Amino acid sequence: MTFRTLEDAGKFYRDYAKAAGFSTRVRCTNRKGNEIKNQLITCSREGKWKSKISPTEKTNPTAGLNCPARIYIHTLKDVGAWIISKVVLDHSHPCCPSKAEMLKQHRELSMSIRRTIENNDEAGIRPSKTYQSFVAAAGGHRELNFIEKDVRNYITREVRNVSEQEDAKEFGKYFLRMKEKNPNFFFELELEEDQSIKLAFWADARSRAACEYFGDVISFDTTYNTNRYNLVCGSFVGVNHHGQSTLLGCSLMKNEEIESFKWLFQCWLRCMGGNAPKGFLTDQCASMKRKIPSKLNGYKAHADIEQQMSHVVWNSHSKDSFDRNWNDFLVNFGLADNKWLLGNVFLNSAAEV
């Protein structure tokens, strides 16, 4: 039996394997320079090996069973064709033609199926619901040549990989539209080589105006991470004259490395005209601790303020020890002349307790 190409010969054996109830793999390929001379295709359970996954973790670990089934394909240079020169049909294990479509090699998603998956994912329909719709349309699970896992893998591997790049483009277009509507809208965007979002910062006109009045002390928080691309969402927050939180800017970061914070804080200063806030509250991220002093006019980091405050509260066993610890705390942080702290009724009451 001859074939026009090596791919045609391989497809012929795969089709036979699906009908017989097993899957195949290319065992070896011999070349002469860049040209293929011959190829050996065997049953996927050829060889002698055991799965590294223990049976307790996986109920059906795969293993090689020295299956002898195989075909040899070699080229006929004179006629420019390929021929199957040797065939071994016997297997060392039972085959199941009725379930062959469930083997990984024989599962596939047609173009129409892929398009439906893409449309459903864009509409927010869960993969399980999408798969069940295919089952209902086909008349049962056995009528499909793919499983729910294939739908999920396609969404993860193909759909969302492409949509991440498309979303980054739309993200940039949205910023440009906002800039056209209001010239005071500020944004900066940096993309990866694959055109996905690496770093982004933006602040609308209202946030920039509010920062002039409520930007004395800024809180920056990066604990939000609920988007599908696992980008770190950071927010710049101030407090208005009603004691309410007011949003002063937002950011997205691929990671929380030092260079990312360096880029972000430089954007913040450019957005606010180079006016750094008097106070900057952050979490205990080491990368921020290293970059805030250098980028925001040499702030002195007080990472241990919580520890010292805890020492004042929990290690003061008498009024005298509280007064001593509290005075040390005020001196250490340059607050000895702060009238509000010195006259705070709550602290005076705590001292009495």
Q: Convert the pLDDT of each residue in 299-349 to its tens digit.
A: 454 556 667 778 888 888 888 888 888 888 888 877 778 777 766 544 554
pLDDT band at 298 (very low <50, low <70, confident <90, very high): very low
**Do 26 and 87 share a structural domain?**
yes
Average pLDDT of the residues in 10-31: 90
Answer whether residue 159 shows pLDDT above 60.
Answer: yes
pLDDT band at 170 (very low <50, low <70, confident <90, very high): confident
Considering 90-99, 199-208, 258-267, the range whose residues carry the highest mean pLDDT is: 199-208
**Do 93 and 131 share a structural domain?**
no
203 part of a folded domain: yes
78 part of a folded domain: yes
Chain-centroid distance, C-alpha 250 = 19
Neighbour-count burial for 210-240, b at 16+ CB within 10 Å, e otherwise: bbeebbeebbbebeeeeeeeebbbbbbbbee
**Do 231 and 323 share a structural domain?**
no
pLDDT of residue 258: 84
Answer whether residue 42 shows pLDDT above 50.
Answer: yes
Degrees, nearest 5: CA angle 331-335-341: 120
Model confidence pTM above 0.75: no
Give the chain's mean pLDDT.
81
313 part of a folded domain: yes
Question: Is the separation of the CB atoms in 71 and 43 below 8 Å?
Answer: no
**Number of domains the chain contains:** 4
pLDDT of residue 265: 87
Average pLDDT of the residues in 288-303: 49
| Residue 344 domain boundaries | 305-352
Cα(183)–Cα(79) distance, integer angstroms: 71
% of the chain surpassing 90 pLDDT: 20
177 part of a folded domain: no
**Do 210 and 125 share a structural domain?**
no
Neighbour-count burial for 272-282, b at 16+ CB within 10 Å, e otherwise: beeebbeebeb
Q: Convert the pLDDT of each residue in 224-239 to its tens digit.
A: 665 667 788 888 999 8
Answer whether residue 21 shows pLDDT above 70.
Answer: yes
169 part of a folded domain: no
**Do 119 and 99 share a structural domain?**
no
Q: Convert the pLDDT of each residue in 46-102 to its tens digit.
A: 887 666 666 555 555 566 678 899 999 999 878 889 999 899 999 988 888 887 777
Question: Is the separation of the CB atoms in 228 and 167 below 8 Å?
Answer: no
**Do 197 and 288 share a structural domain?**
yes
Cα(173)–Cα(181) distance, integer angstroms: 13
**Do 242 and 151 share a structural domain?**
no
**Do 287 and 217 share a structural domain?**
yes
**Do 75 and 132 share a structural domain?**
no
**Do 260 and 319 share a structural domain?**
no
Q: What is the 3-state secondary structure (H, E, C) of the chain?
A: CEECCHHHHHHHHHHHHHHHCCCEEEEEEEEECCEEEEEEEEECCCCCCECCCCCCCCCCCCECCCCCCEEEEEEECCCCEEEEEEEECCCCCCCCHHHHHHCHHHCCCCHHHHHHHHHHHHCCCCHHHHHHHHHHHHCCHHHCCCCHHHHHHHHHHHHHHHHHHHHHHHHHHHHHHHHHHCCCCEEEEEECCCCCEEEEEEECHHHHHHHHHHCCEEEEEEEECCCCCCCEEEEEEEECCCCCEEEEEEEEECCCCHHHHHHHHHHHHHHCCCCCCCEEECCCCHHHHHHHHHHCCCCCCCCCHHHHHHHHHHCCCCHHHHHHHHHHHHHHCCCCCCHHHHCCHHHHHHHHC
pLDDT band at 295 (very low <50, low <70, confident <90, very high): very low
pLDDT of residue 345: 42
Average pLDDT of the residues in 266-279: 84
Cα(158)–Cα(200) distance, integer angstroms: 24
Q: Which of these, 108, 114, 101, lies nearest to 141 by C-alpha position?
A: 101
**Do 116 and 92 share a structural domain?**
no
Question: Is the separation of the CB atoms in 237 and 215 below 8 Å?
Answer: no
Length of the chain: 353
**Do 276 and 186 share a structural domain?**
yes
